[in-house]
Amino acid sequence: MKNVTEILNTLSQFPEIGDTTNILHGDMPGDKIEIGESHRQKAAKIFPVLVEKLKGLMQQNPHQRAVLCVCGGSGVGKSESASLLGHALQSCGVGSYVLSGDNYPHRIPAQNDAERLRVFRCGALQGLVASGLYTETVKSTLQSLQQQDVDADPAQCAAHPWLTVYQAEGKKALAGYLGSEKEQNFAELSNIISQFKNGADAIYLKRMGRTPLDLWYDLVDFSQTNVLIIEWTHGNSDRYTGVDLPILLNSTPQETLEHRRSRNRDGGVDHPFTTMVLEIEQRQLESQAHKAAIIVSKSGELLSYADYRQQMAQA
């Protein structure tokens, strides 16, 4: 068996990576990555720190294995950064695999989007009834707003003051769903991590596309893999176990929205409901940030947790 620690001891800086056409990347079906200079700069900053931390982790595991995650807001560059780090380690002789956490929700994307909206509207309606503001007139107006798909738009509250309560209660319900066991299969990921760290040579990994038929498992060879990299918004969550080294790519809510616009990930990027989802996910990321072993700013600077708090306070 190769001594991975000895290999890591020879590494001091991010290796030169030329053509990225066939670079190691995440296993989400149909997922495409577009590596830019900013991604390379971030990976180059992370790599030396990552190598130093991996040395101790490899020595502690009898199979010379470690699990790290790359987390952050939607569109911040998790896929690209994870791919670069995994490819760099692999090219230096440290076997790596990039796992996409987006394969592990309970529902395909379209169904999950519908469930998110259902949870929001059910919680909002229940809160409106409990507040005593629900009337036949409100009922009729609300149905019209829902049909127009603007019931989550704060701009509508000026004309309909009761909508403030509706949106606040809906947002509370949505926060209880996003990133929870109701939405994500954390138990399955914990099991995969456990198998990997206990030396499994092969593990069945889930694949999830965008239709109900795009769901299957592939048996993945891990016999030569030392580092499992999970790239996922919820990678630093407390709801699953086994991640040794969380890496947070930081972005403010506005920066996250700008990233999504530049990548044109979906036509509803400016939709008020999408904005609400991003704000909730941002708060969740902030609540978990203290656990991150490495934090990187949007501009590519390494941050201490104190630096991170200061940056977010000024955002």
Number of domains in the chain: 2
- Cα(154)–Cα(167) distance, rounded to whole angstroms? 8
C-alpha radius of gyration, the chain, whole number:
21
| Structure confidence at residue 307 (pLDDT) | 93
Same domain, 160 and 193: no
Is 267 or 206 the better-scoring residue by pLDDT? Answer: 206
Q: Sign of torsion, CA 299 301 303 307?
A: negative
Yes or no: say if 34 and 263 are a contact pair by the CB < 8 Å rule. yes
Is 266's pLDDT higher than 70? no
* 214 & 297 share domain: yes
Of 175, 197, 215, which one is at a domain's C-terminal end?
Answer: 175
pLDDT of 17 reads: 84
The verdict on 128 and 205 lying in the same domain is: no
- Average of pLDDT values for 118-124? 98
Q: Are 106 and 239 in contact (CB under 8 A)?
A: no
Say whether both 207 and 303 belong to one domain: yes
In a domain, 152, yes or no: yes
Query: Is 241 inside any structural domain?
Result: yes
Q: Do residues 201 and 305 share a domain?
A: yes
Domain end, chosen from 130, 155, 175, is at 175
* pLDDT higher than 60, residue 265: no
Distance of alpha carbon 15 from alpha carbon 36, whole angstroms: 16
Phi and psi, residue 166, nearest 5°: -55, -50
The answer to whether residue 165 sits within a structural domain is: yes
pLDDT averaged over every residue in the chain: 92
Strands 302-303 and 96-100: unpaired
CA dihedral 315, 179, 61, 83 (to 10 degrees): -60
pLDDT per position as a tens digit, 14-58: 988 887 878 888 898 888 888 989 899 999 999 999 999 999 999
CATH number of the domain at 12, please: 3.40.50.300
Same domain? For 100 and 234 the reply is: yes
- First CA to last CA distance, the chain: 48
Name which residue leads in pLDDT, 265 or 292: 292
Place of tokens 């979906």: 266
pLDDT class of 268 with cuts at 50, 70, 90: low
Q: Where among 119, 143, 175 does a domain terminate?
A: 175
Q: Is residue 67 part of a domain?
A: yes
Q: Are residues 189 and 263 in the same domain?
A: yes
Give the structural domain span for 101. 4-105+185-314
What is the mean pLDDT of the segment spanning 77-89? 95
In a domain, 180, yes or no: no
Q: Are residues 197 and 256 in the same domain?
A: yes
Of residues 232, 224, 301, the one with CA closest to residue 49: 301
User: Residue 145: inside a domain, yes or no?
Assistant: yes
The verdict on 137 and 211 lying in the same domain is no
Q: Are residues 143 and 227 in the same domain?
A: no
**Mean pLDDT lowest for which of 27-31, 65-69, 92-96, 219-223?**
27-31
Q: Is residue 295 part of a domain?
A: yes
Q: Look at the block and give the residue holding tokens 């990994």.
A: 205
One domain, residues 18 and 66 = yes
Closest CA to 249 of 36, 46, 96, 105: 46
What is the value of pTM for the model shown?
Answer: 0.93
Q: Is residue 278 part of a domain?
A: yes
